[in-house]
Copies of this chain bind each other. A is one copy, B any other.
């Protein structure tokens, strides 16, 4: 059964910032985004943060909490906005979104001591990527 999602038509600012993040091979920081879009008329931090908040809300991007950086979602968009997992290389800072059915199933069904389940989670794995291990 296919879950339907509302299509969010991005506004001008949202599109500019999303494109930038989406094209980036690495997570971008808010002020780096700001510097990159100033020529397009987005001049103030708040304009960037507002767009980032919105893009996160609709699942187009995720925040890498341990790095204060933002990355485009590559897991069939917004479906996993509330259940995110990443691997982070501590050497080169490469970040990859993990899409593992097993992992997301395990975490979605995880119950704590009191039997409580959680609707939302963020998991960050740290280590050395293939390249940096050699």
The interface of chain A, by Cβ under 8 A from chain B, is 65-66, 82, 87, 96, 98, 100, 103, 106-107, 110, 112-114, 116-127, 129-130
Nearest CB of chain B from residue A3's CB, rounded to whole Å: 20
Q: Is the CB of A127 within 8 A of B118?
A: yes
Please list the 4 inter-chain residue pairs (A to B) with the smallest Cβ-Cβ separation, ordered nearest first.
A118-B125, A65-B65, A120-B126, A118-B127
Copies of this chain, whole number: 2
Q: Is the CB of B120 within 8 A of A121?
A: no
* CB-CB under 8 A for A119 and B130, given A98-B112, A106-B106, A112-B87: no
* CB-CB under 8 A for A124 and B122, given A110-B103, A112-B87: yes
Nearest CB of chain B from residue A4's CB, rounded to whole Å: 24
Q: Is the CB of B123 within 8 A of A123?
A: yes
Task: Name 8 A/B residue pairs within 8 A (Cβ), A-sorted.
Answer: A87-B118, A98-B112, A100-B112, A114-B130, A118-B125, A121-B125, A122-B126, A123-B123
Q: Which residues of chain B come closer than 8 Å to A124, judged between CB atoms?
A: 65, 121-123
